[in-house]
Chain A
Amino acid sequence: MSYQIPKFRHPELPKNQLGYTKADYEGSISTLCAGCGHDSISGAIIKAVHELSIEPHKIAKLSGIGCSSKSPTYFLGKSHGFNSVHGRMPSVVTGAAMANRDLLYMGVSGDGDTASIGLGQYGHVARRNLNMVYIVMNNGCYGLTKGQDSATADEGSVSKKGEANPFSAIDLPAIALQIGATFVARSFSGDKEQLVPLIKAAISHRGFALIDVVSPCVTFNNTPGSTKSYEYAREHMEATGTVDFVPMHEEITTKYDPGKTRDVTMHDGSVIRLKKVDDSFDPFDRLSAITALEKSRESGQILTGLLYMDKHSRDLHEALQTSRTPLNQMNEHELCPGSKVLEQINQSLR
């Protein structure tokens, strides 16, 4: 069952440029466990889209199967949603994006959905550089089937079952980087300060934008020996820097130390302002990102923040030279060559 949020709202809820309040971007009441990290991510998505003043119906939210994939019911209730097949969300988004290039495609998946059955499609949607936001709600375990380790569980991590995971973990951002993703970030569901601007930047990026979000499972994997618990994440988070997002229509007013910050103008005219914490890390250098990820992994840290961005990203529509007019808006006049041409073809076959 889905439960609808009561319609009553405080009349003075802040409105965005389109006149929408945050409530206009909410979904049904979540049926996930109380305290689930996924709900915080849903909240961050709502906040990011509201603040960016995107019309709710111009977003399509798609998911696979699992706890994470249920979450699109709990945000963006005025957007079309598609809860597809396990691990196959990327292909459905690919088709949808080919049909209409004018919508924002928000794909939501989990570690089971993406790193196991969906690993193939994950890799291929990244290498095609489909223009989409791909959020992984990563808790290292299978919730709906009661707590089995997933492929992103760290080696040695102990979930509620009490057994140490004997296998090495699949690092989704590292794979994405290797395969050619053009925007790769990691965050933590408990850190909205970081997550919200990252989501905004991912939306502004033209191309495939991955955000791997550590999102603890309170029921099966929030144990003292787990590396995906709230406590572990809080203690081992290490950020590449901070990200501020300034939408294109806003003036940049805050002043930063110029030596430590860098403004990057996105494709849609927005600006992301990156504040460095370490000079050795450069988010526009793929090699630097891969090295940093490996180093943090060795030391048992969770490296978060914007890991990599390709400022010259070319998305799938550019590669295919698809028409500016969305394909789903074309009719027989644009698409059908007609009987005269067919008669010429017949003639060539005689």
Chain B
Amino acid sequence: MNASVAPISAVNDFVIKFANVNGTGSASANNLFAKALFRMGLPVSPKNIFPSNIQGLPTWYEVRVSEKGYLGRRGGVDIMLSVNPQSMADDIREVEPGGYFIYDNTKALDLRLHRADITFIGIPLTAICNEQYKDPRQRQLFKNVIYVGALAALLDMDFKVLSGLVSDQFKGKEKLILPNIAALELGHQYAKEHFNCPISIRVETRDAVGDSILLDGNTALGLGAVYGGATVAAWYPITPSTSVVDAFDKYAKRMRINAGTGEHNYAIVQAEDELAAIGMVIGASWNGARAFTATSGPGISLMSEFLGLAYFAEIPTVLIDVQRAGPSTGMPTRTQQSDVLSAAYASHGDTKQVLLFPSSPAECFEFAADCFDLAERLQTPIILMTDLDLGMNDNMSPPLKWDDNRTYDRGKVLSAEDLDAMERFGRYLDVDGDAICYRTYPGTHPTKGAFFTRGTSRDEYAIYTERGEEYEKNMLRLMRKWETIKEYVPEPIMVPASQPTDLGVIFYGTSEASTLEALDYLADEGVNIDGMRVRSFPFNDDVEAFIEQHDRVFVVEQNRDAQLRTLLMAEFEFGPDKLKSVLCFDGTPISARNIRKQIKQQLPGSNVTPFQRRFRRAQGGAA
């Protein structure tokens, strides 16, 4: 140990990053590490930073440990665990001064990479594995487990928790338990014998997680769809949404197959493309089943035409968008919130789509189940906007909840008896004055209630017409329906500052954790800001009031073009000067440090010009 800067000293508050090669089995070992800390009662937030590739390229796993419960990305790395020579130079550079670089020293470190301000800890992982194991695959897999064992010693983790976790994970494959525990012990022992354990960064058991769970958002969505009564899932594989339907499949197999007859109370169709996937969802929903699809940005583009039909013909549609970095193929395995505008106004003509923005697995579960009620009640597409960060990473979350007294809201659907009791059925007649009309399922009544669903204009009785006044009347009703929708979608969550302030910040989805952390930092520095987490589009009146009540409102989002800010300006007519953007679009989750920095640059009196305006000036445009 040879650092020229004092080593970082921390208990239960640090960032550790694993630099691996993808396809080498590192993911399960890294998960084991994070989950063990979680079981020690410590809030953790692990994030996969992985390439769009199957085998051989650099991949990272970053774990934030925070006893205070900060779950966003902090920024910076205190401990780097490196087993990938490809990325070693960059990985060394990334370590904070005073931090640690733990690496496989079977091959000596290139001296040119040495840094005097960090501590290097070499463990001959390859040599240990070569000595212990003959099978090449075992050598590769156990290398990962061995470094977890070494970390347990270096950080003073509870070894019993680790070995208990291994036993849990391999339930049903008992043969694997002992070899894995032996590998953990190998690493543990090596570290104990060769280093002063623990190092200056370490953990202590706490009770800081309560009844929380550790779960990825996509699994929560798939499970939410099972609970919400989805029976038809039609989809086309696309990263990072694929595991949503995988989870639906897994839980449906477990809970929706009749044990006696083998009959499935669900149907999953892997479509030929996203065009077909959304078509199947629309067909199934039109026919009275709860149906959904999951996709990502490119899929949203492909589905846009059908989304216009569903909006105009008023067919319930549930669509999950797990966003990734665009445009085009973009960075398929990196995160962004960049489909907001294309989803909100999806399709040609005057269309507006309902969006929901969950920010935790518990909310993914809740919104996924609620989506079906909302879609059937409101007879329009509901697009659940999540992202890769929430979808594919384990997130600490409140437990999932279900009220057994809950019944599904199937919306305004007429039965044969209803039809018998009425004079004439009009599919697009606004009977109740809320701009939501009654619908019928095919096959309901021998003579009444049949109508023709179409994307062409029609009158209140679903009869084709090109009369301008009929068309306009219908479009205006859809506008009134938009107002009704505001009463049903989730309201924003307010996070008031401890003191009255003229500053506000709006955030949504996965920007939540980092924003809340940044607000704490800023409050410590005397800058108080009221927070509001927007959870849906259309925005309801509270959102407008919040902006009105503050002189300056920051809008935090993970895209280049400040898409939610654009949406706020389009819907409410606030001027651009009032809404200040805080943006991150490099494909990594936005960090608390980044948010703090950008907000400070745009505080009243600050003379830092926002980057978009700076960019326009540099190009010679009007500022």
A77 at the interface (CB under 8 A from B): yes
Which residues of B456-494 have CB atoms within 8 Å of chain A's CB atoms?
Answer: 456, 463-466
* Complex contacts, B400 vs chain A, CB 8 Å: 342, 345-346
B450 at the interface (CB under 8 A from A): yes
Partner of A80, one of B212, B266, B267, B443: B443
Which of B155-163, B222-230, B498-506, B593-601 lies at the binding interface? B222-230
How far does the Cβ of B10 sit from chain A's closest Cβ, in whole Å? 25
Partner of B453, one of A80, A94, A337, A343: A80
Q: Is the CB of A339 within 8 A of B404?
A: yes
Q: Is the CB of B231 within 8 A of A99?
A: yes
B39 at the interface (CB under 8 A from A): yes
Partner of B401, one of A330, A335, A342: A342
How far does the Cβ of B295 sit from chain A's closest Cβ, in whole Å? 14
* Complex contacts, B288 vs chain A, CB 8 Å: 99-100, 328-329
B291 at the interface (CB under 8 A from A): yes
Q: Is the CB of B446 within 8 A of A57?
A: yes
B234 at the interface (CB under 8 A from A): yes
Nearest chain A residue, comparing its CB with the CB of B214: A349
> How many inter-chain residue pairs (CB < 8 Å) link A and B?
238
Q: Is the CB of B401 within 8 A of A349?
A: no
Q: Is the CB of B464 within 8 A of A84?
A: no
Q: Report Cα–Cα, A102/B441, bound state, in Å.
A: 13
B217 at the interface (CB under 8 A from A): no
Q: Is the CB of A323 within 8 A of B258?
A: yes
Which of B74-82, B96-104, B272-280 lies at the binding interface? B272-280
Nearest chain A residue, comparing its CB with the CB of B275: A88
Which residues of B428-469 have CB atoms within 8 Å of chain A's CB atoms?
Answer: 440-447, 450-456, 463-466
* Complex contacts, A335 vs chain B, CB 8 Å: 226, 229, 231, 256, 265
Q: Is the CB of A95 within 8 A of B455?
A: no
Q: Report Cα–Cα, A324/B265, bound state, in Å.
A: 9
* Complex contacts, B175 vs chain A, CB 8 Å: none
Q: Is the CB of B287 within 8 A of A328?
A: yes
Which residues of B200-221 have CB atoms within 8 Å of chain A's CB atoms?
Answer: 211-215
Q: Is the CB of B451 within 8 A of A80?
A: yes
Q: Is the CB of A321 within 8 A of B264?
A: yes
Q: Report Cα–Cα, A121/B273, bound state, in Å.
A: 9
A284 at the interface (CB under 8 A from B): no
B408 at the interface (CB under 8 A from A): yes
Q: Report Cα–Cα, A97/B275, bound state, in Å.
A: 17
How far does the Cβ of B196 sit from chain A's closest Cβ, in whole Å? 33
Q: Is the CB of A99 within 8 A of B402?
A: no
Q: Is the CB of A120 within 8 A of B272?
A: yes
Q: Is the CB of B227 within 8 A of A342?
A: yes
Q: Is the CB of A339 within 8 A of B453?
A: no
How far does the Cβ of B291 sit from chain A's closest Cβ, in whole Å? 6
Which residues of B278-296 have CB atoms within 8 Å of chain A's CB atoms?
Answer: 278-289, 291
How far does the Cβ of A69 sit from chain B's closest Cβ, in whole Å? 10
Q: Is the CB of B464 within 8 A of A95?
A: no
* Complex contacts, A322 vs chain B, CB 8 Å: 263-264, 266-267
Q: Report Cα–Cα, A349/B38, bound state, in Å.
A: 10
A280 at the interface (CB under 8 A from B): no
Partner of B455, one of A2, A60, A85, A327: A85
Q: Is the CB of A91 within 8 A of B276?
A: yes
Which one of A55, A56, A99 has the greatest number of beta carbons of chain B within 10 Å? A99
Partner of A83, one of B227, B446, B453: B453
B555 at the interface (CB under 8 A from A): no
A258 at the interface (CB under 8 A from B): no
B11 at the interface (CB under 8 A from A): no
Q: Is the CB of B456 within 8 A of A83?
A: yes
Q: Is the CB of B447 within 8 A of A78?
A: yes
Which residues of B393-447 have CB atoms within 8 Å of chain A's CB atoms?
Answer: 399-404, 406-408, 440-447
Q: Report Cα–Cα, A99/B292, bound state, in Å.
A: 12
Q: Is the CB of B446 within 8 A of A92?
A: no
* Complex contacts, A93 vs chain B, CB 8 Å: 283
B109 at the interface (CB under 8 A from A): no
A95-B281 in contact given A1-B464, A120-B273, A339-B402 (Cβ < 8 Å): yes
Which residues of B493-517 have CB atoms within 8 Å of chain A's CB atoms?
Answer: none
* Complex contacts, A29 vs chain B, CB 8 Å: none
Q: Report Cα–Cα, A58/B408, bound state, in Å.
A: 26
* Complex contacts, B306 vs chain A, CB 8 Å: 85, 88
Q: Report Cα–Cα, A321/B309, bound state, in Å.
A: 31
A341 at the interface (CB under 8 A from B): yes
Q: Report Cα–Cα, A80/B276, bound state, in Å.
A: 21
Q: Is the CB of A337 within 8 A of B226?
A: yes
* Complex contacts, B261 vs chain A, CB 8 Å: 323
Q: How large is the interface on A (under 10, 10 to 19, 20 to 34, 35 or more residues)?
A: 35 or more
Partner of B213, one of A79, A82, A123, A350: A350
A114 at the interface (CB under 8 A from B): no
Which residues of B289-324 have CB atoms within 8 Å of chain A's CB atoms?
Answer: 289, 291, 305-306, 309
B523 at the interface (CB under 8 A from A): no
Q: Report Cα–Cα, A82/B282, bound state, in Å.
A: 11
Q: Is the CB of B282 within 8 A of A338?
A: no
A95-B39 in contact given A84-B309, A336-B227, A345-B223 (Cβ < 8 Å): no
Q: Report Cα–Cα, A257/B401, bound state, in Å.
A: 71
Q: Report Cα–Cα, A269/B265, bound state, in Å.
A: 28
How far does the Cβ of B256 sit from chain A's closest Cβ, in whole Å? 7
Nearest chain A residue, comparing its CB with the CB of B403: A339
A320 at the interface (CB under 8 A from B): yes
B-contact bits for A156-182, CB 8 A (1 contact / 0 none)? 000000000000000000000000000
* Complex contacts, A98 vs chain B, CB 8 Å: 231-232, 234, 267, 269, 280, 283-284, 289, 291
Q: Report Cα–Cα, A83/B403, bound state, in Å.
A: 39
Nearest chain B residue, comparing its CB with the CB of A333: B407
A96 at the interface (CB under 8 A from B): yes
A57-B263 in contact given A120-B273, A337-B226 (Cβ < 8 Å): no
Q: Is the CB of B445 within 8 A of A95?
A: no
B268 at the interface (CB under 8 A from A): yes
Partner of B283, one of A96, A102, A330, A341: A96
Which residues of B145-198 have CB atoms within 8 Å of chain A's CB atoms?
Answer: none
A332 at the interface (CB under 8 A from B): yes
A147 at the interface (CB under 8 A from B): no
Q: Is the CB of A2 within 8 A of B463?
A: yes
How far does the Cβ of A1 sit from chain B's closest Cβ, in whole Å? 6
B255 at the interface (CB under 8 A from A): yes
A254 at the interface (CB under 8 A from B): no
Q: Is the CB of B231 within 8 A of A94?
A: no
A81-B283 in contact given A56-B446, A103-B443, A321-B264 (Cβ < 8 Å): no
How far does the Cβ of B542 sit from chain A's closest Cβ, in whole Å? 30
Which residues of B329-383 have CB atoms within 8 Å of chain A's CB atoms?
Answer: none
Q: Report Cα–Cα, A349/B408, bound state, in Å.
A: 27
Q: Is the CB of B283 within 8 A of A80?
A: no
* Complex contacts, B275 vs chain A, CB 8 Å: 88, 91, 120-121
Which residues of B237-276 have CB atoms within 8 Å of chain A's CB atoms?
Answer: 251, 255-256, 258, 261-269, 271-273, 275-276
A327-B232 in contact given A80-B451, A92-B283, A99-B289 (Cβ < 8 Å): yes
* Complex contacts, A316 vs chain B, CB 8 Å: 269
Q: Is the CB of B231 within 8 A of A332?
A: no
Q: Report Cα–Cα, A16/B102, bound state, in Å.
A: 84
* Complex contacts, B442 vs chain A, CB 8 Å: 57, 60, 79-80, 96, 100, 103
Q: Is the CB of A321 within 8 A of B263?
A: yes
Q: Report Cα–Cα, A329/B410, bound state, in Å.
A: 11
Which one of B214, B261, B309 has the greatest number of beta carbons of chain A within 10 Å? B309
10 contacts across the A-B interface (CB closer than 8 A) = A57-B445, A91-B271, A91-B283, A95-B286, A98-B280, A99-B285, A320-B269, A323-B264, A327-B284, A332-B229
A-B interface, 3 closest residue pairs, ranked by CB to CB distance from nearest:
A95-B283, A91-B279, A99-B289
Known A-B contacts: A80-B452, A98-B269, A327-B232. Give 8 more (CB < 8 A): A2-B463, A80-B442, A82-B283, A85-B309, A335-B231, A342-B227, A345-B400, A349-B214
Q: CB within 8 Å of B: which residues of A?
A: 1-2, 55-58, 60, 62, 72-73, 77-85, 88, 90-100, 102-103, 120-121, 123-124, 128, 316-317, 320-324, 327-332, 334-339, 341-343, 345-346, 349-350
